[in-house]
Structure 1
Amino acid sequence: MTIQTTTHLNFRGDARAALDFYQSVFGGHTVINTYADFGMPKELPGADHVVFGLVASDNGFRVMGYDVPGEPGGTIVGGTSTRRENGTTVTDQASFVSVNADSLDEAQGYWDKLADGGSTVVEPLAASAWSAGFGMLTDRFGVTWSVGVTAAA
């Protein structure tokens, strides 16, 4: 028996842009279904918003997302602040997305792409006590990513 977990992100009107961005970072394919695709009249506000979205790539990366009905806010639903204070990470977000690569070069590639377009670096990607590379950033959509190198066994 196997089990697979997939991070599901909740947005306020920009799920499509976020999922397209994550596909550009991690590769794979994107599946997008709108509220209109599932029967909402197309003339209603929000009918073109994402009710089911998925990015899946052959390397194992998967993330889902959708637009929460209601007021558009242009950011992920939940907390909006992650920062370093006195050597610790302080946040009001319920979760982060963690991505681990096999090498520092691969992790750096993901980092550079995620950082594109207005991210906030929480902790720069650098060697740490537990990894050849670890860093945290909040991307332009408000999602905080933990990027690292898989520790050798």
Structure 2
Amino acid sequence: MAESIATYIALPGTTAEAMQHWHDVFGGELQILRYGDNPMPGMPFDPDPQAVAHATLVTDAGIIAGADAMPDGHDYAVQGTAYSLLYTTDTPDQARTYLQRLVEGGGREAMPFARAPWGGWYGQVFDRFGVMWAFSCAGE
């Protein structure tokens, strides 16, 4: 197996819904493993059997992995942090399609998709889970 690197996101109990939404937007192969699917004795906490232990969405552009956040007493914010994903597309129309799907799925535009100072295209949207998606394209 070749080396790779993937984004890993821990969401507050919404990982299954988020991964399914991203699968609907970007396509690819989605796998979700819940704690109840494969009980793991000796865990330092008693997980909800429906909570996501590990999920992967493999797309042509890359891999997004994640799980429901650990019950450690911390409530980490997603939106309003430096937490974001950059998706580079081949064409501006492809980026516009993804941006539109994320907005139609309950997200909101953060920065209009337009020509960037460096000559390409760039825009941002926050999806309904608070994850900021930045889209970039070299140009038409």
TM-score (norm 2): 0.83
Contact 1:32-1:50 at 8 Å conserved across structures:
yes
Q: Percent identity?
A: 26
1:112-146 Cα deviation digits (max 9, x unpaired): 11222322322111111124321111110010111
Gap regions ≥5 residues in structure 1: 82-92
TM-score (norm 1): 0.77
Q: Does 1:149 align with 2:137?
A: yes
Gap regions ≥5 residues in structure 2: none
Contact 1:46-1:69 at 8 Å conserved across structures:
no
Contact 2:52-2:68 at 8 Å conserved across structures:
yes
Q: What SS is found at the alignment partner of 1:70?
A: coil
Contact 1:40-1:47 at 8 Å conserved across structures:
no
Q: Within 1, Cα distance between the matches of 2:64 and 2:79?
A: 19
Q: CA, structure 1 residues 6+151, in 2 after alignment: closer, same or farther (shift >3 Å)? A: farther
Which of 111, 120, 134 is the equivalent residue of 1:123? 111
Contact 2:79-2:132 at 8 Å conserved across structures:
no
> Within 5 Å, which residues of 2 pair with 1:24-63?
24-39=24-39, 46-57=48-59, 59-63=60-64
Q: Within 2, Cα distance between the matches of 1:9 and 1:49?
A: 14
User: Would you say how many aligned residue pairs link Structure 1 and Structure 2?
Assistant: 136
Q: Does 1:108 align with 2:96?
A: yes
